[in-house]
Structure 1
Amino acid sequence: MLVELRISNLGVIAEATIEPTAGMTAITGETGAGKTMLVSSLSLLLGGRADSSMVRRGSDRMIIEGRFNDLSLVTDALEAIGAEIEADELLVARQLSERGRSRAFIGGVQAPISKLAEVTSELATIHGQSEQIRLGDPDRQREVLDHAGGPELLDLVNQYRRAYRHRDQLRAECDDLVHHAQERAREADLLQFGLDEIAAVNPQPGEDTVLGLEASRLQAIDDLRMLAEHANHALSGSSEGDPDDPGAVGMIGIARRQLTDIARLDEQAAELAGAARILAGQMNELAADVASYLADLDADPLRLEAITARRAQLKSLTRKYGSTIDDVLAWAQDATARLDGLSQGDQRVEELERLIAELESKLFEIGEQITVLRGAAAARLAAAVQEELAALAMPHARLGFKLQPLRK
């Protein structure tokens, strides 16, 4: 039922709010007062065609809002789109800009105009010329009968619809698994091939980076040795012990001894002598470390050859499965999970077939209950309608319902 209708900037109507009461509400007025616009506003809420000429002159947009209650016929449709229902009432809105852009909202959720029409057509009807044609629609006839059957029948119908949709979803998933079995098998073969190739190489995290650094060092061994020899000579001086070439260590040693002698004669130089001792110790340690580094700089062509071969193996993986070895290992992890999912396809088909069978049984049980309740509702509705028709001077008019299961 329409509880409230709000109109903003529609034709001659700037702002208007209507709250129909139970029973009949009559709207009257002179020609041009806006009666047709009221009907047009309701038509827009029901998904009717919109035209930018309907927007009030001087306004940038028109807004029509309606609040409805008694939502039993549209509960499933509202749940499907995530519409919000407050205090058992639904707010729907239709907006139309001066440029002709139309938007619809159902329970705070933007929706296509077709969805708006689908939902609101169950909540309100405009009776005009040819509108009675809807009564010839089997779907509409069934809805009228279900509504006449009361809450118990409507609840069963909603249960049936939910179970029916769930069954169709499971059936679609099952059909997809069966029809794409060969594709899954091919994908599984490719994934397994990749995993086997990676396992054969057995890469370690960060291995490509570590080997790259070591290869660069071995390839530059001659340059490193030359530079290290120069550094060692600068620190330690001539290897023959030439007094004219003492190196930095020897020069610091001379400075330390002289500052020590100065400190014996002048206490103010004590700090300088101490600093010289510290610096001399550091220089000795540095010279020893450089000499050790130089001694370890041996060319190792066999090691370089082994590293080159290993890097070639790793490169064969990074060309296919990732830019780095860490990426390759991540691909392998994802592929393992995907392969596990593919291997469970047959099990999933069996599970889906079981669930579908259970839902088929449930649908049959609910369907039988619906048939019984619809039969009772049909008898009550026919009697009530015939009573009304008799009061309209049609005593021999009869209304009958034929309930026939659909084979689909």
Structure 2
Amino acid sequence: MLTSLSIKNYALIDNLHVDFNDGFSIITGETGAGKSILLGGLSLILGKRADLSSLKNDSEKCVIEAVFNISNYKLKPLFKIEDFDYEEQTIIRREILPSGKSRAFVNDSPVNLAGLQLLGERLIDIHSQHQTLELTSNEFQFQVIDALANNEKTLLKYNEELKVYKALKKQLKELLAFQAEAIKEHDYNAFLLSELVEANLVEGELETLEEEYETLNNIEGIKEKLSEAYHLLNEEEIGIIANVTSLKNVLQKLSGFSSKYEELFNRANSSLIEFDDVFSEVNALQEGLDADPVRLETVDSKLKMLNNLMQKHITNNVSELIAIKNQLEEKVSVTENLDDTIQKKEAEIALKESDLNAISKIIHEKRIKVIPQLKKQLESVLSGLGMPNAQFNIDAVYSDLFFTNGKDELSFLFSANKGGNFNELKKAASGGELSRIMLAIKSVLAKYVQLPTIMFDEIDTGVSGEISNKMGDIMLQMSKTMQVFSITHLPQVAAKGHSHFKVYKEDINDMTQTNLVKLNHDERIVEIAQMLGGVEMSSSAIAHAKELLN
């Protein structure tokens, strides 16, 4: 419940603080006294967007603070989700700075407007003309029926399953689109892949083949040079090996005289060993080198194929071709296995549809069960509010479609007159009738769910006499289980309240200010008497006011 409200520097309010009680509170005041300003300030606490023009003094910040006792509201899960600091006495503060920036705080921790709005919806329900129009929407009508049907947990489960179902449907749609596109490319990809597979690609193969090609293509010249090297190394008297052998023998004879000569001998001996090894290699190469036109043609053909493939795929080496081959294999494989993937996805969807159908059937049956009960109670309340012939024709028809709140299509029809045709609320009920229907709905809901603090903003407009008395009784009855405020011009309603507050304007230092004050018993008599007979109160108006209060 709302326990206190402080407003500073907002519209015509300079500095206001008021404490509220539980039960039924009345707010009265002359037209233009500032009741809408009070509601505007309260709306900022509930997350309404701020407006710089709201500042009374545009050089100072506007501060609006409300304290709520939320011990019975079961809001700990919401506070945890939104990362708010939970306190049973929760303080919400809104600040509008002269710069135009706005800040919001819950228990002194900064919060964003979206989170504040979410919390505000659970704290105060301000009933205005705008909300009366909500009465004509299927969404609101379902909320009423589901509240009576105790469908909250079932609907949560349904919504969880629906999210999964929609995600699966989206995945299937993407798979089908991918398959359609993949089928177009499949034949071409398969052709490209077959070319690369036939090429029998091997890492580093290009360099090896190029070397072999150069050898085979220049074999005669290579053989000639190898033969020349062979003779240079192994000519009997003038060959390198014969000369180095002679050199080694000469130096061997000197090696005993000095370590310097011995070092020269060792180097010559090493050179001889190296030249012997070179000779053996040249000899082996020479013996193993034969012209092979067939092999040359094969190597040449393979090189051309590799170069063509690299040019086709715009690559620089065989490694990149192998990578492309692997990618093509994956694409072709995925395309060829898509049917299995799609079938599995369709099976998942069918299973989820079955789950959703089972849950939505439970929701439907619970709705159907409470609709007659809701219809009877609404018609009973409205009969007491001067609409004895009011009738509802409500039905929830089970459909083939999955909606956000089940599979029902709701028909919520109304007739205000005996023998009249049933029609949608927005067509069948006037503004005054809609207000009474909304009051009836709120009064019925209060019996089944813990509603937040409710503030009726002139819901009794357009009614008088006994009807206004009945409306006051209904709000008084609701206040037994919740905090109820009523902004009213009717003395019959005002007299029902446990507490009575008056909004008024006064001029201070040539400045008009709006204030709110709690009236004591005698002040209530005066206020109600003025509501009955005007500023010039008669003795009969005062007597009537006392009678109403008693």
Deviation of the 1:348 alpha carbon: 4.1
Deviation of the 1:174 alpha carbon: 4.5
Deviation of the 1:157 alpha carbon: 1.0
Confirm or deny: 8 A CA contact 2:206 2:306 kept in the other structure.
Answer: yes
What amino acid maps onto 1:258 in structure 2?
V
Question: 2:138 & 2:252 partners in 1: Cα distance?
Answer: 115
**Is residue 2:233 matched to residue 1:241?**
no
Aligned partner of 2:252 in structure 1 is 260
Give the secondary-structure state (helix, strand or coil) at the position aligned to 1:162: helix
Aligned partner of 2:137 in structure 1 is 137
Question: 1:97 & 1:206 partners in 2: Cα distance?
Answer: 71
The Cα offsets for residues 285-311 of structure 1, whole Å up to 9 and x where unpaired, read as 234324544555555544333211112
Give the secondary-structure state (helix, strand or coil) at the position aligned to 1:27: strand
Question: 1:400 & 1:24 partners in 2: Cα distance?
Answer: 35
**Is residue 2:285 matched to residue 1:307?**
no
Deviation of the 1:139 alpha carbon: 1.9
| Percent identity (aligned) | 18
The Cα offsets for residues 361-387 of structure 1, whole Å up to 9 and x where unpaired, read as 322221121123345666787899999
Question: 1:220 & 1:171 partners in 2: Cα distance?
Answer: 66
Confirm or deny: 8 A CA contact 2:216 2:291 kept in the other structure.
Answer: yes
Aligned partner of 1:16 in structure 2 is none
What amino acid maps onto 1:156 in structure 2?
T
Deviation of the 1:240 alpha carbon: 6.6
Return closer, same or farther for 1:175/1:50 CA change in 2, 3 Å cut-off.
Answer: farther
Question: 1:100 & 1:252 partners in 2: Cα distance?
Answer: 100
Return closer, same or farther for 1:252/1:40 CA change in 2, 3 Å cut-off.
Answer: farther
The Cα offsets for residues 46-92 of structure 1, whole Å up to 9 and x where unpaired, read as xx4888x99x9999xxxxxxxx99679xxxxxxxxxxxx89834138
Give the secondary-structure state (helix, strand or coil) at the position aligned to 1:364: helix
Question: 1:291 & 1:256 partners in 2: Cα distance?
Answer: 23
Aligned partner of 1:166 in structure 2 is 164
Q: Counterparts in 2 of 1:150-189, with a 5 A limit?
A: 150=150, 153-174=151-172, 183-189=181-187
Number of aligned residue pairs: 341
Question: 2:298 & 2:155 partners in 1: Cα distance?
Answer: 74
Q: From the two aligned structures, give the one with the greater strand fraction.
A: 2
Aligned partner of 2:357 in structure 1 is 364
Question: 1:148 & 1:140 partners in 2: Cα distance?
Answer: 13
**Is residue 2:47 matched to residue 1:43?**
yes
Give the secondary-structure state (helix, strand or coil) at the position aligned to 1:264: coil
Confirm or deny: 8 A CA contact 2:179 2:335 kept in the other structure.
Answer: no
What amino acid maps onto 1:127 in structure 2?
I
Structure 1-normalised TM-score? 0.60
The Cα offsets for residues 95-133 of structure 1, whole Å up to 9 and x where unpaired, read as x9999999xxxxxxxxx99x8799778656673754424
Return closer, same or farther for 1:208/1:277 CA change in 2, 3 Å cut-off.
Answer: closer
**Is residue 2:337 matched to residue 1:344?**
yes
Return closer, same or farther for 1:209/1:380 CA change in 2, 3 Å cut-off.
Answer: farther
Give the secondary-structure state (helix, strand or coil) at the position aligned to 1:202: coil
Return closer, same or farther for 1:199/1:275 CA change in 2, 3 Å cut-off.
Answer: closer
Aligned partner of 1:198 in structure 2 is 196
**Is residue 2:209 matched to residue 1:211?**
yes
Question: 1:203 & 1:340 partners in 2: Cα distance?
Answer: 20
Confirm or deny: 8 A CA contact 1:43 1:126 kept in the other structure.
Answer: no
Aligned partner of 1:8 in structure 2 is none
Structure 2-normalised TM-score? 0.47
The Cα offsets for residues 183-230 of structure 1, whole Å up to 9 and x where unpaired, read as 443333223222333344433343333212322444455775677677
Give the secondary-structure state (helix, strand or coil) at the position aligned to 1:161: helix
Return closer, same or farther for 1:86/1:255 CA change in 2, 3 Å cut-off.
Answer: farther
Return closer, same or farther for 1:118/1:317 CA change in 2, 3 Å cut-off.
Answer: farther
The Cα offsets for residues 20-53 of structure 1, whole Å up to 9 and x where unpaired, read as xxx1133124435599778546426xxx4888x9
Q: From the two aligned structures, give the one with the greater helix fraction.
A: 1
What amino acid maps onto 2:2 in structure 1?
M
Give the structure with higher Rg (CA). 2
Instruction: Please give the root-mean-square deviation of Cα atoms over the aligned residues, in Å.
Output: 5.3
What amino acid maps onto 1:405 in structure 2?
V
Question: 1:283 & 1:327 partners in 2: Cα distance?
Answer: 42
Return closer, same or farther for 1:404/1:156 CA change in 2, 3 Å cut-off.
Answer: same
Q: Counterparts in 2 of 1:5-404, with a 5 A limit?
A: 23-30=1-8, 31-32=13-14, 39-40=43-44, 42-43=46-47, 48=49, 88-91=80-83, 127=126, 130-132=129-131, 133-143=133-143, 145-146=145-146, 150=150, 153-174=151-172, 183-219=181-217, 236=233, 239=235, 241-242=237-238, 246-247=239-240, 249-266=241-258, 269-293=261-285, 296=288, 300-321=292-313, 323=315, 324-375=317-368, 394=385, 402-404=394-396
Question: Which structure 1 segments of 5+ residues have no match?
Answer: 1-22, 60-67, 73-84, 103-111
* Larger relative contact order (CA 8 Å, sep ≥ 6): 2
Question: 1:364 & 1:116 partners in 2: Cα distance?
Answer: 33
Question: Which structure 2 segments of 5+ residues have no match?
Answer: 17-37, 62-69, 85-93, 103-111, 402-550
Deviation of the 1:252 alpha carbon: 3.8
Confirm or deny: 8 A CA contact 1:221 1:299 kept in the other structure.
Answer: yes
Aligned partner of 1:14 in structure 2 is none
What amino acid maps onto 2:269 in structure 1?
R
Confirm or deny: 8 A CA contact 2:254 2:261 kept in the other structure.
Answer: yes
Confirm or deny: 8 A CA contact 2:252 2:262 kept in the other structure.
Answer: yes
Larger mean Cα displacement after TM superposition, 26-35 or 330-339:
26-35
Confirm or deny: 8 A CA contact 2:204 2:319 kept in the other structure.
Answer: yes
Confirm or deny: 8 A CA contact 2:236 2:242 kept in the other structure.
Answer: no
Aligned partner of 2:505 in structure 1 is none
Confirm or deny: 8 A CA contact 1:71 1:89 kept in the other structure.
Answer: no
Confirm or deny: 8 A CA contact 1:70 1:88 kept in the other structure.
Answer: no
